[in-house]
Amino acid sequence: MTLVERETGYRVTVGTAEIENADAEMVSAAPSHPAHMIKVSTRCLPVADYIVASQCVIILTLWSHPQGVPMFRTVPEKVDYAVRKAANHRGLAKQPAGMAEQVASSLVAGLLHQLRSTPVEIAAVDYCHRECPGLRDLQIDAMTRNLRRNSGSLMPAIREMAPPDIWTHSQIMCAALAKAWCGLSGSDAAMLPYKAIGVETKAQKFLNLWRDSRGALGEQYVQTVDDWAVELGLKSLYTWEFRARQ
């Protein structure tokens, strides 16, 4: 937290919230709210110190880009097309009227969220493992929880409902995070379900794209998101804006 405050010029506030599908919520500082706000899920209080540290790394990553703080902006007409295409998948067509497009919208939004969040999550896992050895036990617990939650999307019911490309692309990104953690933890257990569905090679390629990126952490992050998006056919669905650091 001290490093974030020194590097960005804004203080960090920490609280808790009832968050179901994530370990934390973070809002980066801006003139309208002059503080970085981190809220830890009440489910994750036993590992809160690690969660806060990882969120601080995410802030440092975003604020290190030389062009400013990168803002991931979706292109509405492109996203709408992707939603309509997904809604026509036979698994969703079985849903009640109006439900297919609602579920498709959620799936597309979730995939784009993964695209922009997984590379910076890998950066945080790497950084904390290297720079915060005192948090190793908490990191193990937190990553075990995180990877277990991700593996929930492997359930047959989800696979049958989701369009194949969306489901597979999501699993590749989940597997890239799992593979990054396996390399640090020394255990390959987290990769076993992804080996079973045949995405390990692609996950390794995605991880290599992160490892091979260059520049400040923020530059590596943006480059990796763009490289992954090209691989997944998602590059036209978003643009970057850079907010000036003040």
pLDDT, one tens digit per residue, over 104-118 is 999 999 999 999 999
The pLDDT, as a whole number, for residue 20 is: 84
Q: How confident is the model at residue 103 (pLDDT cuts 50, 70, 90)?
A: very high
Reply yes or no on whether the pLDDT at 184 is more than 80.
Answer: yes
The lowest-confidence range among 155-159, 210-214, 218-222 is 155-159
The pLDDT, as a whole number, for residue 95 is: 78
Percent over 70 (pLDDT), the chain: 100
The pLDDT, as a whole number, for residue 93 is: 79
Q: Using CA atoms, how far apart are residues 243 and 224, in angstroms rounded to an integer?
A: 19
The pLDDT, as a whole number, for residue 48 is: 97
The pLDDT, as a whole number, for residue 91 is: 81
The pLDDT, as a whole number, for residue 165 is: 95
- Strand 24-27 relative to strand 69-74, pairing: unpaired
Contact residues for 28 (Cβ-Cβ < 8 A; gap 6+)? 36, 59, 62, 63, 69
121 vs 32, residue with greater confidence: 121
Residues 118-166 pLDDT 10s: 999 999 999 999 999 999 999 999 999 999 999 988 998 888 889 999 9
The pLDDT, as a whole number, for residue 97 is: 66
Question: What mean pLDDT, rounded, does the chain reach?
Answer: 95
Reply yes or no on whether the pLDDT at 96 is more than 80.
Answer: no
The domain ranges of the chain are 1-63, 66-238
User: What mean pLDDT is predicted for residues 31-39?
Assistant: 94
Q: Using CA atoms, how far apart are residues 207 and 214, in angstroms rounded to an integer?
A: 14
User: What mean pLDDT is predicted for residues 33-54?
Assistant: 96
The pLDDT, as a whole number, for residue 26 is: 96
The pLDDT, as a whole number, for residue 92 is: 85
